[in-house]
Amino acid sequence: MSSADEQRRVGVESCGVPNVNRERGQRQVFCGLAGIVWLHRKIQDAFFLVVGSRTCAHLLQSAAGVMIFAEPRFATAILQERDLAGLADCNQELDRVVADVLERRSDIKTLFLVGSCPSEVIKLDLSKAAERLSETHQGRVRVLDYSASGLETTFTQGEDVCLMSLTPQLPLLAEGESSLLVVGTLPDVVEDQFARIFRDLGIGPVHFLPPRQSTELPPVGKGSRVLLAQPFLGETARALQKRGATLLDAPYPLGIEGTLGWLKAAADAWGVSEERLREVTAAPIARAERGLARQRELLAGKRITFLPDSQLEIPIARFLARECGMELVEVATPFLDRQLMESELQLLPSDLRLTEGQDVERQLDRVREDRPDLTVCGLGLANPLEAEGLRTKWSIELVFSPIHGFDQAADLAELFARPLVRGALLQV
């Protein structure tokens, strides 16, 4: 066995749960800056100031697309060459840029200083800068910092580190009170659907993190029960646990089965009966089943491979296999957080080829050998695979589209059916 093969050792896992191949090597994924695109849409009074290079500015612009109708609430303070020589100038320049942003944008209540590879390399201390700027602009704006550098984060981890920076700011939930805290960015329309279901179940009060307004941060404390809406928020979950919250063990609300299991975890914690859960969910489940039927016809029997990118791979693979009849060739995820993924792993076939980490060349070789009907991957790998006649799906679409909950189950399936339909048309 070669040393590279040794690195891909097969882990010893508990019975019924797939073995995990661990791969280490070159990765090809976006950095955490991409998270700003969906975070700035959600937190409507927040501004994200990336302290980085022109490359960072380009990445952000291309990930966000061109925003014509709204003044975007993100920008890049570009580090110039002379900044690399003197940090004092750099801090002065940062203070000037922040003052400028705040003067122009009276609606901004929280400003995130977002670290990047260049700011890390020159060791610009953004937490000190955030402290200094918070003092300077006290009463006007809250200034927080986090690092989304590609040295430390993959693209969905950007949300995790952002929410973690908010966690110490959350007010304390009063002793003796309890609440449900749903964690992870959801489009407002999906958040409203879930809020209605929780209300009908008699579960409450329910808070969402991140909130729509940064001035309305949800409380956290011993009585908080946390339901993660996204599987890539491990550090935030642990920070909330340190503040006394209890993490509910549940699958993720993707597809009918995942959404029902997710709601059931909250229902169990609030002592809601199975019968009531069935009553409240019957209509949206019936709607979702009708919507899914057509997509299932297109997807059943098709073979799919996931390359590691978003950390959404496992719950979505579970949905596509169990509810859409797809065959999982390989499911790879950048990180496998056991604590957060336990309920999902139980639902995967025990003989699944499950990979953690990436050695991009080896993985591409496997895709070429397997020739799945569809490969889910990052933008950078999609074009070369398409050029080889393989159909692909960009994983970044999964964080830009409403995919959670019963009413979005068919839309989620359609995201995968579309490239297959297009591919079939091209062959005609």
Q: How far is the CB of 147 from ligand SF4 (least distance, A)?
A: 9
Token pair of 96 as six digits:
């000037």
313-322 vs 338-345: helix crossing angle, rounded to 10: 0
Should residue 31 be labelled a site residue for ligand SF4 when binding is judged by CB under 6 A? yes
Instruction: Show the beta-strand stretches assigned E in 127-213.
Output: 142-147, 179-183, 206-209
Is 377 among the annotated ligand-binding positions? no
Token pair of 131 as six digits:
């402290």
Should residue 33 be labelled a site residue for ligand SF4 when binding is judged by CB under 6 A? yes
Size of the site for ligand SF4 (CB under 6 A): 11
What residues contact residue 224 under an 8 Å CB cut-off, 6+ apart? 173, 178, 179, 180, 181, 240, 243, 244, 245, 246
Q: Which residues pair with 130 in a beta bridge?
A: none
Should residue 53 be labelled a site residue for ligand SF4 when binding is judged by CB under 6 A? yes
| Rounded (to 5) percent helix, strand, coil in the chain | 50, 15, 35
Should residue 308 be labelled a site residue for ligand SF4 when binding is judged by CB under 6 A? no
Judged by beta carbon, residue 47 or residue 194, the one nearer ligand SF4 is: 47
Site map 140..179 versus ligand SF4, x via CB under 6 A: ---------xx-----------------------------
- Residue (of 61, 72, 65) closest to 107 by Cα position: 72
Contact 292, 409 (CB under 8 A): yes
Tell me which of 52, 231, 234, 372 binds ligand SF4, using CB under 6 A: 52
Tell me which of 77, 117, 288, 376 binds ligand SF4, using CB under 6 A: 117
Which range, of 51-59, 98-106, 294-302, 328-336, touches ligand SF4 by CB under 6 A? 51-59
Q: How far is the CB of 351 from ligand SF4 (least distance, A)?
A: 36
In angstroms, the CA 113 to CA 50 distance is: 6
Helix (H, G, I), strand (E, B) or coil at 325: coil
In angstroms, the CA 234 to CA 238 distance is: 6
Tell me which of 46, 56, 228, 382 binds ligand SF4, using CB under 6 A: 56
Q: How far is the CB of 52 from ligand SF4 (least distance, A)?
A: 5
Which range, of 54-62, 281-289, 329-337, 350-358, touches ligand SF4 by CB under 6 A? 54-62
User: Residue 424: what are its φ and ψ, rounded to 5°?
Assistant: -65, -40
Should residue 76 be labelled a site residue for ligand SF4 when binding is judged by CB under 6 A? no
Q: How far is the CB of 333 from ligand SF4 (least distance, A)?
A: 20
Judged by beta carbon, residue 27 or residue 238, the one nearer ligand SF4 is: 27
Q: CA torsion 343→345→346→352, rounded to 10°?
A: 170
Q: Where are the alpha helices (DSSP H) in 8-116?
A: 35-42, 54-64, 81-85, 87-104
* Total Cβ atoms within 10 A of residue 285: 17
Judged by beta carbon, residue 50 or residue 239, the one nearer ligand SF4 is: 50
Q: Report the side by side order of strands in the sheet with 179-183.
A: 206-209, 179-183, 224-228, 246-247
Should residue 311 be labelled a site residue for ligand SF4 when binding is judged by CB under 6 A? no
Should residue 29 be labelled a site residue for ligand SF4 when binding is judged by CB under 6 A? no
Judged by beta carbon, residue 93 or residue 268, the one nearer ligand SF4 is: 93
Q: How far is the CB of 278 from ligand SF4 (least distance, A)?
A: 46
Q: How far is the CB of 272 from ligand SF4 (least distance, A)?
A: 44
Q: How far is the CB of 153 from ligand SF4 (least distance, A)?
A: 8
Should residue 184 be labelled a site residue for ligand SF4 when binding is judged by CB under 6 A? no
Type of residue at 79: L
Q: How far is the CB of 117 from ligand SF4 (least distance, A)?
A: 3
Q: How far is the CB of 388 from ligand SF4 (least distance, A)?
A: 26
CA separation (Å) from 225 to 186, 188, 203? Answer: 18, 21, 11
Judged by beta carbon, residue 151 or residue 424, the one nearer ligand SF4 is: 151
Contact 410, 288 (CB under 8 A): yes
Which range, of 55-63, 104-112, 162-170, 187-195, touches ligand SF4 by CB under 6 A? 55-63
Q: Using CB atoms, what's the residue nearest to ligand SF4?
A: 150
Contact 254, 315 (CB under 8 A): yes
Return residues touching ligand SF4 (CB under 6 A): 31, 33, 52-53, 55-56, 59, 116-117, 149-150
Q: Binding site membership for [4Fe-4S] cluster: which residues?
A: 31, 56, 117
